[in-house]
Amino acid sequence: MLEARIRNASLFSLIKRTYSSGNEALLEGPNNSFLPFIYNRNPRNLERLRIAPKPSGYVLDKKPVNYWHRLVIEQSNKHWNAYIEHFEGSRVVTASTKEWAIKQFLRSTSDSVAAAIVGKVLAQRCLEFGLLEVNSDYDLKQTSPKITLVLRNIEEGGIALKEPEQFLPHRHWSREAKEDPTKVYEETQSK
């Protein structure tokens, strides 16, 4: 068996490579020259697998910073603005009533209809951009009715307002073994 590595943008670690069962003659084809490791440069891959390092933040932080992607809703006197932020600082997805695409259908850009539309559009864009789970600090019991409307519309659009925890590998001294996310696959069958 060969030793192999997988290179990711944020983490470097060894991986082992094995072969699936199949005809032995297949090993002699032209496609069987491998590097002993594979490079996956996709920076979102480890976050999807939930093994990327996640910042834990500090106890005295005004807002907790323990997320990969976070939902922020801003309300001003005139407008609604909702966006998804990455912990490294970039604004990834935005939906705002200042955009002409949304504004053109609205009678008022600050009422409940505007709030609902901003939630719906943000959810649609998140789905298109491949972000299915975001962290949200909003407590549905304590937020105002309009912000609740934004949150509900985002959830109805198919976005989970909770991020999974970072997976830490099982060590023999930890009591329970969690399921390894790198070995979980959807049970979809082709044909």
Partner 1 sequence: MSNLINQFKFARNLLLKLQPVYIQPNRELRGKAPDVARTLKQRLEGTDMFDPSLHFKVNIGLPHLKTSKAEENGPRLKMQQSIKKSAEASSIEEISLKEIRKEWLKTAAPFQIKAIAEHYNIFKDLFGEAFFVPRIPISIGYQQTDGSTMPVYFGNQIKPYEAVLPPIVSYEADPSSLWTLVLTNPDGHLSEKDAEYVHWFIGNIPGNNIDKGDEVVSYLQPFPPRGTGSQRLVFVLYKQEKQIDFSSYQRTTPCLELTNRTFHMKRFYKEFQDYITPAGLSFFQSDWDISLTDFFHKTLNMKEPIYEFDFPEPYKKPPIWFPKKQPFNLYMDKHRDQKQISKELLLKRLKTVDPFKPKEPEYKYPNALPENNNLPSWLRVEIRKQRLKWGRYNDM
Q: Interface residues for partner 1 in 55-94 (CB under 8 A)?
A: 86, 90-94
Q: Which of residues 93-122 bind partner 1 (CB under 8 A)?
A: 93-94, 99-108, 111, 113, 116-117, 120-121
Q: Work out how close the CB of 131 gets to partner 1 at its nearest, in angstroms, rounded to a whole number.
A: 8
Binding window for partner 1 (CB under 8 A); candidates: 14-22, 54-62, 73-81, 140-148: 14-22
CB half-sphere exposure, 21, CA atoms < 13 A: 0
Residue 45 C-beta-side C-alpha neighbours within 13 Å:
13
Compute the least distance from the CB of residue 65 to partner 1, in Å.
18
Output the smallest distance, CB 84 to partner 1, in A: 10
Q: Which of residues 127-156 bind partner 1 (CB under 8 A)?
A: 127-131
| 18-47: contacts with partner 1 (CB under 8 A) | 18-20, 22-23, 26-27, 29-35, 38-46
Angle between helices 145-156 and 112-128 (to 10 degrees): 30
Q: Chain-centre distance of CA 19, in angstroms?
A: 31
Q: How many CB atoms lie within 10 A of CB 175?
A: 4
HSE-CB for 183 with a 13 A CA cutoff: 5
Distance CA 102, CA 138 (A): 24
Q: Which is nearer to partner 1, 102 or 136 (CB)?
A: 102
Q: Which of 60, 61, 171, 179 binds partner 1 (CB under 8 A)?
A: 171
CB of 116 to partner 1, least distance (A): 5
Q: Are 34 and 40 in contact (CB under 8 A)?
A: no
